[in-house]
């Protein structure tokens, strides 16, 4: 009983950590990366489709991203989606590919991005702690129903606390790396 609860909590916490790390990739640093645009929603024949399904990406230079649509008829829609996004870049279209030139980040903008990433990290920590709370409730309910003993409950709670601490630490390390990447000039 306790094993199942702990394994379920580990699985959910790992997904929460992965989610936070995925969110970090969407925050722009000084370099161009396809992760910045691949999830943008593009209006395509009346429905919204992620850009990664409509185009390929290349990074010829550190601050330039090239978006090559699989179908040239989608060029205008992709360009519009990029222009309407909050990336702060102006796409240039040569009829075949769309080039995105990312300007260098100002110090003030870097600090704003660090705040955004810090909030994402805190949301991830909260998610992990909520998973811990739910698992603890489940374990306490099992003890009240006499499915596990008080000693088993205590051991499981200590193990749950260690698991939680490890996953929060993973989020903190990912945040540290992203913060360093953002503040790098």
Q: Could you give the domains of the chain?
A: 2-25+106-183 (1.10.132.20), 34-101 (3.30.1360.40)
Rounded Cα–Cα distance for residues 5 and 136 (Å): 9
Burial degree of 98 (CB within 10 A; 0-12, 13-18, 19+): buried
Residue entry with tokens 């003890």: 143
DSSP state of 113: H
Range of weakest confidence among 2-11, 44-53, 102-111? 102-111
Rounded Cα–Cα distance for residues 30 and 102 (Å): 8
pLDDT of residue 185: 65
pLDDT of residue 117: 92
Report residue 15's pLDDT band, with 50, 70 and 90 as the boundaries.
very high
Residue 7 belongs to what H/E stretch? Answer: helix 2-25
pLDDT of residue 160: 94
pLDDT per residue as tens digits for the range 57-102: 998 888 888 999 998 888 888 988 888 887 778 888 888 899 988 8
Burial degree of 99 (CB within 10 A; 0-12, 13-18, 19+): middle
pLDDT per residue as tens digits for the range 100-148: 888 777 888 888 889 999 999 999 999 999 999 999 999 999 899 888 8
Rounded Cα–Cα distance for residues 171 and 178 (Å): 11
pTM: 0.74
Region 13-25: mean pLDDT is 92
CA 54-56-61 angle, to 5 degrees, is: 140
pLDDT of residue 29: 73
Number of H helices, E strands in the chain: 4, 6
pLDDT of residue 10: 94
């Amino acid at each position: 009983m306790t094993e199942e609860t702990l394994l379920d909590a580990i699985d959910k916490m790992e997904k929460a950590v992965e989610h936070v790390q995925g969110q970090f990739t969407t925050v722009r640093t000084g370099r161009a990366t396809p992760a910045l645009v691949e999830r943008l929603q593009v209006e395509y024949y009346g429905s919204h489709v992620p850009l990664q399904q409509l185009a390929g990406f290349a990074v010829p230079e550190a601050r330039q991203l090239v978006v090559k649509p699989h179908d040239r008829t989608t060029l205008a829609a992709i360009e519009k989606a990029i222009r309407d996004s909050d990336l702060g870049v102006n796409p240039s279209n040569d009829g075949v590919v769309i080039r995105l030139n990312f300007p260098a980040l100002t110090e003030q903008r870097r600090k704003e991005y660090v705040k955004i990433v810090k909030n994402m990290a805190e949301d991830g920590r909260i998610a992990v702690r909520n998973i811990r709370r739910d698992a603890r409730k489940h374990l306490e309910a099992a003890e009240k129903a006499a499915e596990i003993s008080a000693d088993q409950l205590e051991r499981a709670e200590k193990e749950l606390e260690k698991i939680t601490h490890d996953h929060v630490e993973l989020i903190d390390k990912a945040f540290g790396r992203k913060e360093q990447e953002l503040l790098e000039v």
